Amino acid sequence: MANLEISQLQCHYQRQLVLNGVDLQVEDNEILALLGPSGCGKTTLLRAIAGLHPIGAGSISLAGVQLTELPPELRGIGVIFQDYALFPHLNVADNIGFGLQHLSYAARRQRVAEMLSLVRLEGLGQRYIHQLSGGQQQRVAIARALAYQPRLLLLDEPFSNIDSQVRGQMMAEIRQILRQAQVSAILVTHAKEEAFAFADRLALLEDGKVVQQGSAEELYRNPSNRFVADFLGGGNYLDAVVSAIDEVQTPLGAIKSASPLSFPPQHHGQLLLRPQQLQLVADDQGSGVITERRFAGNHCDYRVVVGPIELQVRSAKLDLNNGAKVAVAALPHALVLL
């Protein structure tokens, strides 16, 4: 049985329908990322799960228990807000133990010590929040949420206040902490890089609906529509006609697919080609001309014009300059036709 199950969830905000028939599951010990542009309903969904936003229709259950009529404090859910919402007048230990008043003093002290060890803040229990770095404050927020021993942890853009130079390290550390604590989690973010690095599975929202869900690689390689493709990285779109079970005709010529296409012959669609799925070869007789070159360390991002078509190409070839003529070809891969 899934740890969290959401069925046909609807939510309104100021009489506007924000969530429209959301279906979602989170398995035990799974980290799910809710991904999407601003205003798509991510935070509303998180707040509805936590019991902080009323639902208009549908159901939410956690470990088989219906949450609809339960108040937030009885749902077994921990929440970490974007600003962490720590108490500046309390030290680290008291922040972590704030929700443990139902335990005896000895049991509360032991739990706090366990949480300090879990998030690697041993010896800092007596410090105040202003004496900690941003990363340490984040770990205090994680410890406080986990001290309650929730079945599910909700994280609302928790990495947005972390310096970009240490963000990757922090995501790896928090992911390891959740694995060690064996807690399911939902991360809300608008940054695909955070979702790719942190989550086991993604659910992409558009206009209050889940348009596609699956692993990051699955969504990136097989987007269900152009919105998903563009949100997870974008690319080039070529008018294409299916000419065989594994081939399409495009303005670049015939392009073979590494796997059978799901459309019949003569089907018209748009072929998605990611910048790294195109190959450039210097060729004085080539049909392409480089019009822009951006150096990015171990690769270059090129803009290439082929007749009336403009292509974005990412290549490890660093020796091509503006104005160079090139031949453009698609590298072998399973084609995505939208």
CATH numbers and ranges of domains, the chain: 4-230 (3.40.50.300), 235-337 (2.40.50.140)
Do 330 and 306 contact (CB within 8 A), yes or no? Answer: no
pLDDT at 1: 52
pLDDT at 117: 92
> Containing H/E element for 42?
helix 42-50
What is d(CA 146, CA 156) in angstroms, rounded to the nearest whole number?
15
Residues of the chain with pLDDT under 50: none
What is d(CA 221, CA 333) in angstroms, rounded to the nearest whole number?
10
pLDDT at 4: 95
- DSSP calls for 79-91: EE-TTTT--TTSB
pTM of the model: 0.86
- DSSP calls for 272-314: EE-GGGEEEEE-TT-SEEEEEEEE-SS-EEEEEEETTEEEEEE
- Across 294-303, b (16+ Cβ under 10 Å) vs e yields eeeeebbebb
pLDDT at 83: 77
Q: What is the pLDDT of residues 130-187, one digit of tens each?
A: 999 888 888 899 899 999 889 999 999 888 777 777 788 888 888 998 998 899 999 9
Q: Are strands 152-156 and 77-80 parallel, antiparallel or unpaired?
A: parallel
pLDDT at 191: 87
Do 41 and 32 contact (CB within 8 A), yes or no? Answer: no
